[in-house]
Every structure is written in C-alpha cells, then in structure tokens.
Amino acid sequence: MSFSGAIRRSAQRLSSVDWSSPVFRGDQELSAMVAGFRAWTAKADTMAEKYAAPPTPIDFATAKKSIRDTSLVDSLEKLYTSSKPAPLTYEWSAEDRAAKAQLIEDAKAGLAFTQEMIDDTTREIAYLRVNRTSRDTSVSDLKEIYPDIAEEVETEIEKREWFKDTLNK
C-alpha cells in the first residue's frame, strides 16, 4: 500500500471518530492524550500534503548570481546531477512481524475476555433489576436472592461474631 493510500485510509477512519464523545472528556489525562494524538495526526496530514508532490528543482543559476565563488556552485550542481541514490525500501523483518502478530492475538484474547466480562455484568445487572428490594421484601426473600450473604450471616450468628463487620472492633 502506498503512503498516500495509508494517509487517506487513516484520515477516513479519523473523520468517523466522534472526538466530542464523553469517553474522551471523562479524565483529564485521557483528554490531554487525545488532544496530543489529534495534534500529531493533524501534523502528519499537513506533512503528507506538503511532501505528496516531488520537490521543485534547484535553481543553480540564481545561486551562481548571488555567490562570489561560482566554482562551489558548479561542483554542487555536478554532484547533484550525477548523484542517483537508490530509493530506500523497508523490509519488515520476520521477527517484528511475528511480534506484532502475537500482540494482535493477545489483544483478541483480551477482547474475548472483556466481552465475557461485559456479558457477565449485563446478566448480573438484569438479575439485580429483577430482584430489586422494596418495602415488601422479607428476610427469607433476601436469603433466596443472596444465598452467599445468608450463609455468611448464619455463620456469624453461630460463631457469635455480632460486630465482625463494624468499624469499631
């Protein structure tokens, strides 16, 4: 993929992000990081636009008129016209590729775990809404709804730990 294609694709993705979302404004540190990221992307966009076209040719004639030592300009011009550097290409090494693939797999595993936690939390919230307590809720209803708490209370009563959970021990 070309550089300009990558810039276009990132610009399309960034334009679809709602930067005014409360998610980005909730924490001061996060807000600062988001602002820094947006500034970085804006700078990258302006640089991509600036360097998208090939550079203009150097005007050696104007330089010869303004410099006393024209032999210096002649040697620089000869060096410039004779120099044909090979284009730089970057080969993504297999180790880096494997490391990035591992990071992606770890992120996917984390995503699956996070989705599982979200599903569990959603079920727990639904359960709590169904079993909401009111003035009509009895102790036996609470024992049925929260058996772990009921067991702990019974154990404390049997062991006569009346003030176990209070602050003043």
CA count, 13 A, side-chain hemisphere, 105: 6
Q: Give the integer Cα–Cα distance in Å for 77 and 75.
A: 5
Confidence category of residue 133, pLDDT binned at 50, 70, 90: confident
Which amino acid, residue 37? F
CA count, 13 A, side-chain hemisphere, 157: 6
- List, for residues 38-53, the tens digit of each pLDDT value: 899 889 889 988 888 8
Q: How high is the pLDDT of residue 67? A: 87
pTM over 0.85: no
CB 22 within 8 A of CB 30: no
